[in-house]
Amino acid sequence: MALLEIKKFGCPVLRQKATLICDITDEVQQLIEDMFATMYAAEGVGLAAQQVGFTERLLVLDVRPRDPLSEPLAFINPEILWTEGECIGEEGCLSLPGIVGDVRRPAQIGVRALDGNGREFEMDLDGIVAKALQHEIDHLNGVLIVEHFNAIKRNLVRGQLRKLQREGKRQALGLTYK
């Protein structure tokens, strides 16, 4: 397992829309392992491929620090099937260290994806795992949490964002697992 560099706000790969993964290769499975290792080292609960410089529709989640009954999950080509309800809660992001803010999201979701072995599954989710999954799917679509912040909050973090943007622009561009 290798620890990967987490891309910061300003790195262009964070704004790229992810491409579908057609084949679950050894390289994809290795990327999943490396993403879990990187997420754990950074003490995160979710990580999308863009956050480590890859441009495929892949994310990993492990919300056990907040929900001990959950399990680590890899989602390949995740697709939200339905949403219900609404919740507002504070979110942070490994690509935006030090920046947190309230984000409005659906409270419950249904999702379909492939697991790390290429088997399709569907899940109905709520709570922290639903929130984290939506956050990571936003990354796969090139969306960052600051886009969910209200105008006042965005103005409050403007200076932090400028500093991160300078750092992020110096990071290497996106990679592909192929």
Q: What domains are there in the chain, each with its CATH number? A: 12-169 (3.90.45.10)
> Bridge-partner residues for 84, per DSSP?
108
Average pLDDT over residues 53-75: 93
pTM check: above 0.75: yes
Contact call for residues 116 and 76 (beta carbons, < 8 A): yes
Average of per-residue pLDDT across 92-116: 96
Query: Which residues are paired to 61 by β-bridges?
Result: 46, 73
- Going by pLDDT thresholds of 50, 70 and 90, the confidence category of residue 175 is low
For residue 150, is pLDDT > 80? yes
Catalytic residues: 136
Statement: residue 118 has pLDDT above 50:
yes
Q: How far apart are CA 96 and CA 144, in angstroms?
A: 9
